Structure 1
Amino acid sequence: MTQQASVVLQIPAPLPADSAAYMQAKLAFHTDAWDVAEDLKAGVSEIVVVDTRANAHYLAGHIPGAISFPHRTMDAESTAGLDRDKTYITYCDGIGCNGSTQGAYKLARLGFKVKEMLGGVDFWLRDGHPLVSGAEAGQLSPDLPESSCGCA
């Protein structure tokens, strides 16, 4: 029996150092729902979670502690009051929505440090985290049980 050539390895894997550098760079641009939830529960003040969806979606249900800042309204004037020492974590509905990417792009172009939360509200809920509704940002309780994220 002849062994078939690997489809996966038609293009060889990079050297370990190259993989490490690439993955580190990737982590600089992204975060996930579990990490955001941990920081919110711990009261980490260096991040600001930004819901980039239309305000009506924010009112219907958002990540506790997130501010509503629709990406379509982001410009130099509307961001003038934001703290440039913070890191802004953008999110939207999920992987089928690019509002978080649009928001991260606009904030970065305006000189803000940003990370995009992968999976948005969809992955937030998949991990078992709650949403809050209404105009108030709310707060994620530190007493919530561990999330169901399998990567922790």
Structure 2
Amino acid sequence: MTNTAMNPALPMPPAAPADAVDFFTARLRFQTDVSDVHYSLDSDDPGFVLVDSRGEAGWQQARVPGAVHLPRADIPARAAGLLDPAVPVVTYCWGPGCDGATRAALALAQLGYQVKEMIGGIEYWIREGFPVESATGTEQRPADPLTAPLGSITCAC
């Protein structure tokens, strides 16, 4: 048996399998990733509305095509006019170092919306080579080979 006290990756032993099932199931209920969002948006019916929760400057700089602009601070006043409560919502913000999408998801959940957060935000959307829109049109950069599979829409995980 490995001495987990001396192993920095395992300072505490892993959870029991049943607890791990509960935890990872919950994560998947609350989060989705950029590849899955991209794949869904390319279908005829993605089954959700994608919400960009950043401010005006971020929205103008670049956004996911088809996203609805609803800054977190505006959610209480504007959500009902933009979103159908029967349609799930996926939120995104800048990237993994920003909790704006989490705060937006919380605000929407408090209003009764079913909501998930797109982990990675627009940063990983761009790093995976997906298109963005701005005032100058649509732009698409090559995928970052250190963060995304080349020549494939998904990592096949």
TM over 0.5: yes
Q: Aligned pair in 2 of structure 1 residues 86, 10: CA closer, same or farther (>3 Å)?
A: same
CA RMSD in angstroms, aligned pairs only = 2.3
Alignment partner of 1:19 is 2:20: yes
Alignment partner of 1:34 is 2:29: no
> Is this contact kept in 1: 2:47–2:88, CA < 8 A?
yes
Where 1:97 maps in the other structure, the secondary structure is coil
Partner of 1:146: 152
Q: Aligned pair in 2 of structure 1 residues 28, 121: CA closer, same or farther (>3 Å)?
A: same
Q: Aligned pair in 2 of structure 1 residues 35, 112: CA closer, same or farther (>3 Å)?
A: same
| Offset at residue 122 of structure 1 (A) | 0.6
Where 1:9 maps in the other structure, the secondary structure is coil
* Structure 2 portions without partners, runs of 5+: 139-150
Letter in 1 for 2:87: K
TM-score, with structure 1 as normaliser: 0.82
> Is this contact kept in 2: 1:58–1:134, CA < 8 A?
no
Separation in 1 of the partners of 2:62 and 2:134? 4
Percent same amino acid among aligned pairs?
A: 35
TM-score, with structure 2 as normaliser: 0.79
Written as runs of structure 1 = structure 2, the 5 A alignment for 1:56-135 is: 56-75=57-76, 77-81=77-81, 82-134=83-135
> Is this contact kept in 1: 2:70–2:78, CA < 8 A?
no
Q: Which deviations, in whole Å up to 9, do the C-alpha atoms of 1:84-117 show, x marking residues without a partner?
A: 1111110011122222112111101111111011
Where 2:78 maps in the other structure, the secondary structure is coil
Task: Please identify runs of 4+ aligned residues in structure 1 that moved more than 4 A.
Answer: none
| Offset at residue 56 of structure 1 (A) | 2.9
Q: Aligned pair in 2 of structure 1 residues 52, 135: CA closer, same or farther (>3 Å)?
A: farther
Alignment partner of 1:46 is 2:52: no
> Is this contact kept in 2: 1:59–1:135, CA < 8 A?
no
Separation in 2 of the partners of 1:97 and 1:5? 32
Q: How many residue pairs get matched? A: 141
Letter in 2 for 1:150: C
